[in-house]
Amino acid sequence: MKVDVRTKMLVVVVFSLLALIYQNPRILGILLALNLLVLALFRVNFLLLRGFKGFVFMFSGLIVMQSFFVREGEPLWQVGEAVLLTTGGIYYGISILLRFLVLACSALLMAGCDPQELVLALVKMRVPYEVAFMIQLGIRFMPVMFEELQNIINSIQLRGVDMRKVYRRKILRFYTNLFSPLIYSVWQKTEKLAILLEMRGFRSSPERTYYRDIVLTRTDYLVMGVVLTSAFVFVFAVRGL
Amino acid sequence: MTYITLKDVTFTYPGKTVPAVKNVSQHFNPGEQVAITGLNGSGKSTLARLMVGLLSAQSGIVHLQGKPVKQYSLAERGRKIGFVYQNPSQMLFNNTVFNEAAFGLKWRGVKKEEVMARCRELLQYFNLWHLREEFPFNLSEGQKQMLVLASILALKPDFLILDEPTKSIDTEGKKKLKEILLDIWRQGTGTIVISHDREFIQGLNRRSLHMIEGEVRENEGRREN
Ligand SMILES: Nc1ncnc2c1ncn2[C@@H]1O[C@H](COP(=O)(O)OP(=O)(O)OP(=O)(O)O)[C@@H](O)[C@H]1O
Ligand SMILES: [Mg+2]
């Protein structure tokens, strides 16, 4: 189904809001299933999900932590007097994971869309052009920044330093090392870009011409209607769970 | 035992049809001195990255001291091979010139006095000592290049792979770099220098390889051991 960027935005917002409202893993599970269904309807390439591999590791860590620190419900794992794991902990861990998955999957809907269309959509929603342009730049620079970060990580290791074996005590200093050049290079890039934009007359006149236009078709209104109605139905349907 | 071995290595960048490195088989012995030349885009930098395992070949094998490179962690490889990128700015990540040079040694637990002595010697040699408190990103291109070289040389690796080390260095700096490269080579460090600079590689090319469209030709004429 080919829909407007704004329609996709609405879908993302609705799913994200619902994911943030609920904490019950059962409800979040249903939400995730619905989300995947929508992704399939919009023909999103599921292979994009592989991009989240890195996060999964981080989140598994978080979940384990949660499970150990939340002391509610029945004890599941006890060593002597100390309760290590409770049903409450597992419950929270799972709900966090599901919430993250819903947020990530709905964001995936935007992954395939053209940054220029996104700017247009924002401008049409009365977001100031400067702000919209900033968002576009942010999206465009993201991969560059990841590449740079990878470069720094490689360079550190090429100096014979194993990052996994750095002492805990010093980890903070180590990470400052990692991020200061990154921030510096981003700052340098923005400065260069600002000069370039100025030289080409960016915003020298308050109006700008758009070569492309985006319009909301009947499908869009239909999809928006269905999404909003379903959201309400969902809210009522899951009250009992 | 050979230090670095490549056997039938072929590498194609994702999305490309023509391989950047094609069927390369080469041995690099410990303490060898090699120069690699070739036109722009002939695959020199790609070959260097393959040797350090920053890229993985689609076919063929790359061995480091008899084991597949990938079996060593990147840090282990970094301890064995000193690799300097073609673009040195990508290798700078510290807040001062001195810390940049000292980074590897410091985090490896070398004694403070020794770190100080080694870095001081190198920075003075490359005329960077008076800039030791500067932010590395604010150096001139040539100075950055020399700083990266100094911070790699400080680690005293067994083998050095330098990708276009003279790109933005002045005549004086080149002379110094060449001297130090000859010096460490005499002390048993292997050196592989990728360069277009004929004058510079004179004397650093005990063995000389030439790359054409991803393939390596050995320059037989210069093979004198
Ligand atoms: N990151 C990359 N992605 C895709 N293709 C690449 C990439 N880097 C290099 N190439 C291609 O691979 C080939 C070999 O590039 P390489 O950088 O190894 O050449 P080189 O011999 O080092 O050239 P130079 O003398 O300019 O440094 C070129 O055709 C280049 O277009
Ligand atoms: Mg190159």
**Chain A contact for B156, CB < 8 A?**
no
Q: Is the pLDDT of residue A89 over 80?
A: no
A148 & A181 share domain: yes
Say if strands B81-84 and B215-218 run parallel, antiparallel, or are unpaired.
Answer: unpaired
Q: Which one is predicted more confidently, A1 or B2?
A: B2
- Choose the residue to mutate in B21, B45, B87, B168 for probing ligand 1, maximizing ligand atoms within 8 Å of C-beta: B45
SS3 at position A207: coil
Query: What percentage of chain A carries pLDDT values higher than 70?
Result: 94
A4 & A93 share domain: yes
- Please list every residue in chain B whose beta carbon sits closer than 8 Å to the beta carbon of residue A161: 75, 78, 103-104, 107-108
A107 & A156 share domain: no
Residue A237 confidence (pLDDT): 85
Residue B39 confidence (pLDDT): 92
Could you report how far apart the first and last alpha carbons of chain B are, in Å?
A: 17
A108 & A119 share domain: no
A41 & A87 share domain: yes
Query: If we measure between CA atoms, which residue out of B165, B99, B154 comes closest to residue B131?
Result: B99
Residue A188 confidence (pLDDT): 82
**Chain A contact for B95, CB < 8 A?**
yes
Q: Which of residues 21-50 of B touch A (CB under 8 A)?
A: none
Average pLDDT, chain B: 91
- Please list every residue in chain B whose beta carbon sits closer than 8 Å to the beta carbon of residue A160: 75-76, 78-79, 104, 108, 155, 157
Q: Which ligand is nearest to the CA of B213?
A: 1
Q: Is the pLDDT of residue A64 over 50?
A: yes
Contact A181 B137 (CB under 8 A): yes
Q: How far is the CA of B62 from the centre of ligand 1 (A)?
A: 19
> What are A221-235's pLDDT values in tens digits?
998 999 899 888 888
A128 & A156 share domain: yes
> What are B178-203's pLDDT values in tens digits?
999 999 999 999 999 999 888 899 88
A183 & A218 share domain: no
Q: Is the pLDDT of residue A1 over 90?
A: no
Q: Is the pLDDT of residue A113 over 90?
A: no
The predicted model gives B111-133 an average pLDDT of: 93
A177 & A60 share domain: no
Q: Which one is predicted more confidently, A145 or B14?
A: B14
Residue A185 confidence (pLDDT): 79
> What are B60-95's pLDDT values in tens digits?
999 999 999 999 999 999 999 999 999 888 899 888
- Residue A61 bridge partners (DSSP): none
A183 & A91 share domain: no
B96 DSSP 8-state letter: S
- ipTM > 0.90 (yes/no): no
What is the token pair recorded at B139? 């150096």
Structural domain count of chain A = 2
A47 & A97 share domain: yes
**Chain B contact for A20, CB < 8 A?**
no
A182 & A225 share domain: no
Contact A160 B73 (CB under 8 A): no
Which residues sit with their C-beta closer than 6 Å to ligand 1? B 13, 16, 20, 38, 40-46, 86
Query: Where in the sequence is the domain holding A138, given as residue range(s)?
Result: 115-210
pTM exceeds 0.80: no
Residue A167 confidence (pLDDT): 63
Contact A154 B54 (CB under 8 A): yes
The predicted model gives A137-158 an average pLDDT of: 83
A66 & A183 share domain: no
SS3 at position B59: strand
E strand or H helix that includes residue B192: strand B190-194
